[in-house]
Amino acid sequence: MTFLEEFNPKHLTLTVESPTFWRVTFNNPPINVIGLEMMRDLKALLTELENNKTVNVVVFDSADPDFYIAHYDVTVDNELAEALPKATDYTAWVDITVRMSKLDAVTVAAIRGITRGAGSELVLAMDMRFASLEKTKLAQVEIALNAVTGGGASGRLPSLVGRGRTMEILLGAEDFDGALAEKYGYVNRALPDAELDEFVSRFARRVSGWDHQAIVEVKEFINKYTRLPDGEYPLHSDAYWAAVSNPEVGATVERLLEKGMQERGPLEYDLATKIGAIAQQR
């Protein structure tokens, strides 16, 4: 059986627009958190793409217009996550983000909705990001858990937005709407929501028609000057897990869950604003 015949993801939908253009749609209600099964799905997809010499471009979008990827599932059993198949010696999440950043295929995030924490890290690991002007919220809120970003945002943002703006994003832990994200370089472009899908599809179809080896070589040269060495990213992950293993952080997560974290409600819609007051309770 071929990969397309065998692949049966739980929280992704794979659409083959053409042999050279695939579309992946995130679908993990109620708010598209990155949980165990989504990681399993992503790892299987990455393994195929790492060995596929036909696919030129993959667009990643969301079935939920309000939540692209909310964040990492804070209830995940990390022992189970680390037991998932992986192609590196890195932790489960860094295995995904590093491999995503190295694919031969061009990866494009079509961002509509809330994209925080690990969701932001995933789109930063992709080659390009196009966002809905009206419906995008991007943020890195890990500082509220006394932690660095574990999936590499602090290693990828500086080449996109610069040092000072990276500091603002990571230490301010506030939402960036589509317009400000475009102004800073967090995303390539922010388009009116009604135009986003057509623009991304047209762009992807154009890229999908180029010679595969030429795409690979273009990406290799760009990556040479813009990607940190792979070995840097486990350092970020180690620092993150060391921080969140503190009982104080566990208590913060419990308070967040009690107030509606990971539920489709007011807290998740406005998490970047509300997490500070909750995290700073003593």
What is the CATH topology of the domain spanning 3-196+206-279? Answer: 2-enoyl-CoA Hydratase; Chain A, domain 1 (3.90.226)
The encoded tokens of residue 12 equal: 């992704």
Domain ranges across the chain: 3-196+206-279
Instruction: Tell me the pTM.
Output: 0.97
**Residue 88, phi then psi, degrees to nearest 5:** -130, 175
For residues 237, 255, 123, 104, the Cα torsion angle rounded to the nearest 10 degrees is 40
Reduced to 3 states (helix: H, G, I; strand: E, B; else coil), residue 227 is: coil
Per-residue pLDDT of the chain (282 residues; tens, 9 = 90+): 899 999 999 999 999 999 999 999 999 999 999 999 999 999 999 999 999 999 999 999 999 999 999 999 999 999 999 999 999 999 999 999 999 999 999 999 999 999 999 999 999 999 999 999 999 999 999 999 999 999 999 999 999 999 999 999 999 999 999 999 999 999 999 999 999 999 999 999 999 999 999 999 999 999 999 999 999 999 999 999 999 999 999 999 999 999 999 999 999 999 999 999 998 876
Q: CA quadruple 192, 59, 227, 72: dihedral positive or negative?
A: positive
